[in-house]
Amino acid sequence: MQTFGYGRAANVHQALAEGMAADTAFLAGGTELLNWLRLGITAPARVIDISRLKELEGIERLPNGGLRIGALMRLSDVAQNADVARGYLVLAQAILKSASAQLRNLATIGGNPLQKTRCAYFRAADVLPCNKRQPGSGCTALHGLNDRHAIFGWSEGCVATQPSDPAVALSALDAVYVTEHRDGGRRIEAEDLHRLPGKTPHLETTLREGELIVGIEIPEAAPHSAYLKIRERESYEYATVSAAVALDLEGDRIARARIALGSVAARPWRLREAERALAGAAVHDSTVIREALAVSFAEARALTHNAYKIPLAKAAAARAIRLAAEARP
């Protein structure tokens, strides 16, 4: 681990001012940043500790019926919040499946979606060509062991997937990340937070230098929702494929569907075509659901070793739709 300067922000204004300095990182829960510091994968010149900013905590109801969640709320506290558990089951489930209880007690809802999009080659002890660690060096996974990698939106520059479970649920909920920046804050739709790799895979999010997520806003409650995570073992494992679904129902028919897949791309992947095709469909019509999902998979591209993820992701989405329909407010 290389040495670095450390500072603790007293308020958001100070954090934004100090965060504009070159080669500076924000420290919240630390479950991600400290690991990369330890491994020498990242080495900022300065770390600004924002973990004690009370103004970035709390969960409050919005006038439109939605929720605003402070960025520094611990994952465990978000999942256990009565409004979240009752109205946004998909988010509570995604959080509970995201990590061990110890990590959930430290990690924050604003920091978890900012996990690095990476694969085993990125984390390798022996440094291998990886455009995320060394831009321009190549992507070892492209023609290597890529059974866990992307089936949507990948490029020859990178085929890794974004690992955050809560980010997938937030995408399906049409959440918005609220930010602050010295030059003015923004509202970033959850689907737009992460970049696809293209020719610049080392640029992972749309955040500007020194921009800080201060809260997350979720629209009206989605009680008919569910999160399904498929993984090789039940605990301490990233998803092979995951699916987050939120449904608006009229009787036994789908008035509106929102579907996001995880671990299939460099960002949570919305199935927009399937969502449109499902409008008016009966929730128990497996044939119509299967045909609607197939439309969104026309652009899926398998790598050498991960063709199995395409039918697996279809099945996960179909199962999550059934689980969401069965959920009770």
Query: Is the pLDDT at 24 greater than 90, yes or no?
Result: yes
d(CA 9, CA 114): 20
More confident residue, 193 or 220: 193
Q: For residue 62, what pLDDT is reported?
A: 96
* 329 has pLDDT over 70: no
**Distances from the Cα of 288 to the Cαs of 164, 218, 260, 285, 327, in angstroms?**
30, 29, 18, 6, 20
What six digits make up the tokens of 202?
């080392």
Given 3.30.465.10, 3.50.50.60, 3.20.20.100, 3.40.30.10, which CATH number is that of 55-113+162-218?
3.30.465.10
Over range 92-98, report the average pLDDT: 97
235-293: pLDDT as tens digits: 778 999 999 999 999 999 999 999 999 999 999 999 999 999 999 999 999 999 999 99
Residue intervals in the chain for CATH 3.30.465.10: 55-113+162-218
What pLDDT is stored for residue 195 in this prediction?
Answer: 98
Third-level CATH fold of 1-54: 3.30.43
Exposure string for 195-223, b = 16+ CB within 10 A, e = fewer:
bbbeeebeebbebeebbbbbbbbbeebbb
Answer yes or no: is pLDDT of 233 > 90: no
Ranking 20-24, 298-302, 309-313 by mean pLDDT, the lowest is: 20-24
Mean pLDDT of 4-25: 93
Q: What is the pLDDT of residue 272?
A: 98
CA distance 181 to 12: 10
pLDDT tens sequence across 110-151: 999 999 999 999 988 888 999 999 999 999 999 999 999 999
d(CA 290, CA 285): 9
pLDDT, residue 98, reads 95
Sign for the pseudo-dihedral over CA of 119, 155, 24, 22: positive
The CATH code of the domain at 225-326 is 3.30.390.50
Average pLDDT score, the chain: 95
Closest CA to 110 of 200, 207, 14: 207
Which pTM does this prediction carry?
Answer: 0.96
Share of the chain above pLDDT 90, in %: 89
Residue-level pLDDT at 39: 83
Question: Residue 224 pLDDT more than 90?
Answer: yes
In the block, residue with structure tokens 């990340």: 177
Q: How many CB atoms lie within 10 A of CB 117?
A: 23
Q: How confident is the model at residue 1 (pLDDT cuts 50, 70, 90)?
A: low
Asked if 181 and 206 touch (Cβ cutoff 8 Å), the reply is no
Please report, rounded to a whole number, the percentage of residues in the chain having pLDDT higher than 70: 99
Determine the Cα angle at 176 with ends 89 and 82, to 5°: 30
Question: In the predicted model, what is the mean pLDDT of residues 66-70?
Answer: 97
CB 186 within 8 A of CB 112: no
HSE of 180, CA atoms in CB hemisphere, 13 A: 15
Q: Rounded to whole angstroms, what are the CA distances from 84 to 92, 219, 267?
A: 6, 12, 23
- Res. 159: pLDDT tops 70: yes
65: left (phi over 0), alpha (psi -120 to 50) or beta: left
pLDDT above 90 (res 234): no
Q: Where in the chain is the domain with CATH 3.30.43.10?
A: 1-54
The structure tokens listed for 254 are 């789908």
Residue range(s) in the chain whose domain bears CATH number 3.30.390.50: 225-326
* Alpha helices (runs of H) in the chain, residue ranges in sequence order: 12-19, 33-39, 75-80, 82-87, 89-96, 101-104, 120-123, 165-172, 272-277, 286-296, 309-326
CA-CA distances (angstroms) from residue 125 to 41, 72, 114, 284? 10, 31, 23, 48
Tokens of 242: 């995951």
